[in-house]
Amino acid sequence: MATILVVDDAAFMRMRMSKILSEAGYDVIQAGNGVEAVEQYRGQKPDAVLMDITMPEMDGLTALREIRAIDPQARVAMVTALGQQQVVLEAVKQGAKDFLVKPCEGERVLAAVSKLCA
Amino acid sequence: MATLTAELEGTLSRVARDGAARAGRGLTGLMGQEIAIHVPQVRLGTRADACDAVGGPETVVLGSYLSITGDISGHIVLLFPVERALACVDLMCGQPAGTTREADEIACSAIGELGNIVGSAFVNALADHAGLALHPSPPSILNDMALALVETVYAEVLSQGGDVVMIDTVFEDARGQTTGLLIVAPDPVCMPHLRELAA
């Protein structure tokens, strides 16, 4: 089964996303900010990434750029709050494949990951 | 305790009910289980009223803070006495009541996310109702004595004699319910604008 990297500075959201994905059979690794996400991506080469945008130390857009520099084929979906449309558009320009709006329903998370891994 | 004009109370009650319904749908979708949110009372309150509503000024409370920017600026705080916050964490994590015993990283994060969902839903409901562009900030976690938090967060608003809107907020699932206090504090300069919208 595919390995998914869940990136969010909110521990509860990492836990919730990981539960949804692991119950569907995915292997899940986690990162609490953009710096950790880039390190995890470089070391583990996950099949897909769910990336929060607003995070301390390194935000999601910067992490997306760095991950795409490591792997131009990286499959990343951005996880956004309402009102971040401009950031989403920028992320899509930078190679994000999809986006999810918080609070994410389980079915929407699984649909996005399935699409990323297809 | 101060009182709302009938028009403003009606407007804020409608906005609060709409926000609660949106937040309930958001939480239900996130958790994969039915979670309802009710807002039985909307009222204006002083700093002392806000403290009393969460158990008194020296009660240790856990909650989250969002700022509002846009056509109206202000602050939103969701507060729980700690034991009620931990009950809410169990509700959000789908765990038996009493499982969460301390405000650890997961508990604080869950309360932050709860405040984010509820606060953002209220802001979005207000924006839609009033035709305003409003933007909630990401949540910050609050964990301290009630008086310290209320003093700190609302120092500017209260020093200018501004009003604080207090909304009792009840979270309910099939196993039971717990109550928090949602405090909405428009920057004082914005209150007349809100009253105009309600008129």
A12-61 residue pLDDT tens: 999 999 999 999 999 999 999 999 999 999 999 999 999 998 888 899 99
B99 lies in a domain? yes
Is A106 touching B (CB cutoff 8 A)? yes
ipTM of model: 0.75
Residues in B closer than 8 angstroms to A10, CB to CB, are 109, 112-113
Q: Per the structure block, which two tokens stand in for B104? A: 């650890």
B1 lies in a domain? no
Residue B66 identity (one-letter amino acid)? L
Q: What share of chain A is helix, strand, coil (3-state, %, to 5)?
A: 45, 20, 30
Task: Write down the pLDDT at residue B1.
Answer: 46
Residues in A closer than 8 angstroms to B31, CB to CB, are 16
- In terms of phi and psi (left: phi > 0; alpha: psi -120 to 50; beta: otherwise), the region of B104 is beta
Give the CATH number of the domain where residue B85 resides.
3.40.1550.10
Task: Write down the pLDDT at residue B47.
Answer: 80
Q: Are residues A11 and B26, on separate chains, in Cβ contact within 8 Å?
A: no
CA distances from B110 to A49, A57, B64, B181, B184 (A): 22, 21, 10, 16, 20
Residues in B closer than 8 angstroms to A81, CB to CB, are 116, 120, 136, 138
Q: pLDDT class for B177, splitting at 50, 70, 90?
A: confident
Is A103 touching B (CB cutoff 8 A)? yes
How far away is chain B from the Cα of A115, in angstroms, using its nearest Cα? 20
Which parts of chain B are beta strand (E)? Answer: 36-45, 60-70, 74-81, 134-136, 140-145, 164-173, 176-186
Q: Are residues B138 and A81, on separate chains, in Cβ contact within 8 Å?
A: yes
B187 lies in a domain? yes
- Mean pLDDT of the region A108-118: 94
How far away is chain B from the Cα of A32, in angstroms, using its nearest Cα? 12
Q: Write the DSSP string, B166-185.
A: EEEEEEEETTEEEEEEEEEE
pTM as predicted: 0.84
Task: Write down the pLDDT at residue A65.
Answer: 96
Greater confidence (B183 vs B32) lies with B183
Q: Is the pLDDT of residue B100 over 90?
A: yes
CA pair distance B30, B26, nearest whole angstrom: 6
User: What digits encode the pLDDT tens for the residues B42-94?
Assistant: 988 888 888 888 999 999 999 999 999 998 888 899 999 999 999 989 888 87
- Mean pLDDT of the region A105-112: 92
Q: Per the structure block, which two tokens stand in for A8? A: 């969010």
Is A59 touching B (CB cutoff 8 A)? no
Residues spanned by the domain of B67: 6-198
Q: Is the pLDDT of residue A109 over 50?
A: yes
Residue of A nearest to B93 (CA): A16
Q: Per the structure block, which two tokens stand in for A34? A: 């953009």
Residues spanned by the domain of A96: 3-117
Q: How many domains does chain A have?
A: 1
Q: Are residues B113 and A13, on separate chains, in Cβ contact within 8 Å?
A: yes
User: What digits encode the pLDDT tens for the residues A60-87?
Assistant: 999 999 999 999 999 999 998 766 678 8
Q: Is the pLDDT of residue A88 over 90?
A: no
User: What digits encode the pLDDT tens for the residues B25-48?
Assistant: 988 888 888 889 999 989 888 888
Residues in A closer than 8 angstroms to B105, CB to CB, are 11
CA pair distance B184, B37, nearest whole angstrom: 17
Q: Per the structure block, which two tokens stand in for A45? A: 């080469």
Give the CATH number of the domain where residue A11 resides.
3.40.50.2300
Task: Write down the pLDDT at residue A85.
Answer: 75
Q: How many domains does chain B have?
A: 1
B95 lies in a domain? yes
CB B51 within 8 Å of CB B147: yes
B144 lies in a domain? yes
CB pairs under 8 A between A and B: 47
For residue B178, which phi and psi values (nearest 5 degrees)? -145, 155
CA pair distance B25, A94, nearest whole angstrom: 32
Q: Is the pLDDT of residue B180 over 60?
A: yes
Task: Write down the pLDDT at residue B165.
Answer: 86
Please name the member of A16, A54, A81 whose beta carbon is closest to the beta carbon of B30. Answer: A16
